Structure 1
Amino acid sequence: MKMYKSKKDKKESLKDFFNNKIYFGPFTGLKVPDALYKILTVSEILGMYESCLHPLFSQLFNRKIKNIVLVGGNNGYYSAGLNYLYNPEKIVIYEMVQELHSTISSWFETNNLSNYEILGEATVDGFKNWKEKTDLLLIDCEGFEVQLLNPIEFEWQKKTDVIVELHPFYVDRLLNIIAERFSETHEIEIIYDDFSEDDKIDKILKGLNLNIDYSHHPNHRWIKENGKKIFTSGLFMFLKRKTL
């Protein structure tokens, strides 16, 4: 069995083992564009990334998700994954870094997915003027969620399921602020990072006889505070719209 040691070798080995497809989780079978192996994490390639959300994605199958808005498209993992999973009538993706738009598009082209639109930065004015029906809103925007989540200011959010990665290191009392805003219209669930995710990834890699030592959590989550690198853990909130 070939031994894989460098980061490049690790990812290339996974590419070969899974024939360019995500191996595990709700996005199983989604093809990974060749050019993205150099920027994706091992957990994304395996399909284990933020596995704490996997049960939630299963639950949403019962919510008739047909129109999706995603704020923070980043490398396209969730953009393509949600499209692949729910086959929505349309998914609108906000990503303020223009250079990442082609990266996001590469997923859709590789997997022959359609009905998507990529826009620039999500803004308060844009959300105020939003008129399209939205079944699911997924947000990861490094603290700006406190500006974009408000069902009083953005009426359409009252009828929208919301998944948001919260960044309380940026905004004091953030959980309480968001929960209070949505308490009348939504059921609220807090979801925490699964700290056994690394063990599960390591088990998969060892099961495939790949000599890859995987022990990374949570060094992919950090912010700069007063010039210092501060590690954080993942914290999510599911705002489930109430049915009358």
Structure 2
Amino acid sequence: MRLDKLISSELEYFEPILKRQKEATQEAREAWRKETVAQRLERVSLETYDLCKGTVSQGLFKGLQLNRDAWWGKSDLGAQCLGLYEKEILDFISARAPFDTFLDIGAADGYYAVGLLHAKKTRKAICFEISEEGQRAINENWQRNEKPGELEVHGEATKKNIASVASNLTDKTLVLIDIEGFEFQLLSKKVIAALGKCTVIIEIHNWIDGFENKYPDLLKNLDRFFDIAIISPSERNTQSIELLRSYTDDNRLLVSSERRPCLMRFLHLTPKKDR
């Protein structure tokens, strides 16, 4: 490379880094030193959201607009904007989409439901979210993204209403279950049978009482209708994201953190062909 081009490219590389250094006042530095990890994570997440102008910049949901005043958690916004949030699930869905219907049990603020509708990876999304604030957030996010596809938003998921909805689903349905441990109560033999034709993803939450007994029982019941596989965790390569090159090492890694208490388990369920 010619020297003048090298100098020009190097100055361009360092431009955002130098800009950040100049903007970091002594007062700001003192405040950062007193932050808890949770406070720093939220600050970095929101800064990343602002740099992305509130829009997912890459991945399956590219172009999806997110609400800065998130209901479920502002600390996830940065990772969502970068396409890193629950990357293993996004990669899994991307490899198997499109679907006729997406059933989202524990829909939070509608990140997946609205994202899949926006990306035209499903025609219809059916959400169950126990929080009324969450239900409002799902509708607001759908409207923010110009109401793509068809959306239904319901309240608490129960054995009765999930079995009822499942009776009308086709084998081109994706079901995502993320209900903070309530999966062990919701997924009765009847509900599992009703979902038996669908592709299902379940996040397993291990902090409930009696997990050592409840989890094997759930696996045995699921095995009657599904082939069970583990979704392997995906690496989050933050070094390759140009937007983050001015971040400190800690902050660059922190923006991809999902604040989980351990390496979580996601199950992939495929309907058995020989049952």
Measured in 1, the distance between the counterparts of 2:105 and 2:89 equals 17
Secondary structure at 1:66 match in 2: strand
Aligned equivalent of 2:138:
104
Aligned equivalent of 1:72:
106
Contact in 2 for aligned 1:65/1:86 (Cα 8 Å): no
Contact in 2 for aligned 1:218/1:233 (Cα 8 Å): no
Change (3 A) 1:150 1:82: farther
Contact in 2 for aligned 1:67/1:91 (Cα 8 Å): yes
Q: How does 1:62-141 map to 2 (within 5 A)?
A: 65-112=99-146, 113-130=148-165, 131-134=167-170, 135-141=173-179
**Max Rg structure:** 2
Measured in 1, the distance between the counterparts of 2:181 and 2:160 equals 17
Q: Does structure 1 residue 188 correspond to structure 2 residue 228?
A: yes
Aligned equivalent of 1:27:
61
Measured in 2, the distance between the counterparts of 1:166 and 1:178 equals 10
Measured in 2, the distance between the counterparts of 1:72 and 1:192 equals 22
Report the alpha carbon displacement of residue 73 of structure 1 after superposing the two structures with TM.
1.3
Report the alpha carbon displacement of residue 166 of structure 1 after superposing the two structures with TM.
0.5
Report the alpha carbon displacement of residue 158 of structure 1 after superposing the two structures with TM.
1.1
Question: Matched residue pairs, number?
Answer: 229
Secondary structure at 1:158 match in 2: coil
Moved more, 138-147 or 64-73: 64-73
Change (3 A) 1:82 1:33: same
Q: Per-residue displacement from partner, 1:168-207 (whole Å, max 9, x unpaired)?
A: 221224543333222243221112444x42xx13x14565
Measured in 1, the distance between the counterparts of 2:242 and 2:121 equals 34
Contact in 2 for aligned 1:137/1:162 (Cα 8 Å): yes
Aligned equivalent of 1:157:
195
Report the alpha carbon displacement of residue 163 of structure 1 after superposing the two structures with TM.
0.4
Change (3 A) 1:25 1:94: same
| 1:88 maps to amino acid | T
TM-score, normalised by the number of residues in structure 2: 0.71
Contact in 1 for aligned 2:85/2:258 (Cα 8 Å): no
Report the alpha carbon displacement of residue 127 of structure 1 after superposing the two structures with TM.
2.4
Q: Does structure 1 residue 232 correspond to structure 2 residue 259?
A: no
Measured in 1, the distance between the counterparts of 2:214 and 2:205 equals 8
Identity %: 23
Change (3 A) 1:174 1:47: farther
Measured in 2, the distance between the counterparts of 1:44 and 1:207 equals 14
Aligned equivalent of 1:179:
219
Secondary structure at 1:99 match in 2: helix
Report the alpha carbon displacement of residue 76 of structure 1 after superposing the two structures with TM.
2.1
Aligned equivalent of 1:224:
none
- Please report the RMSD computed on the Cα atoms of aligned residues, expressed in angstroms: 2.9
Q: Unaligned stretches of 5+ in structure 2?
A: 1-15, 25-31, 33-39
Q: Unaligned stretches of 5+ in structure 1?
A: 222-230
Report the alpha carbon displacement of residue 115 of structure 1 after superposing the two structures with TM.
0.8
Aligned equivalent of 1:209:
245
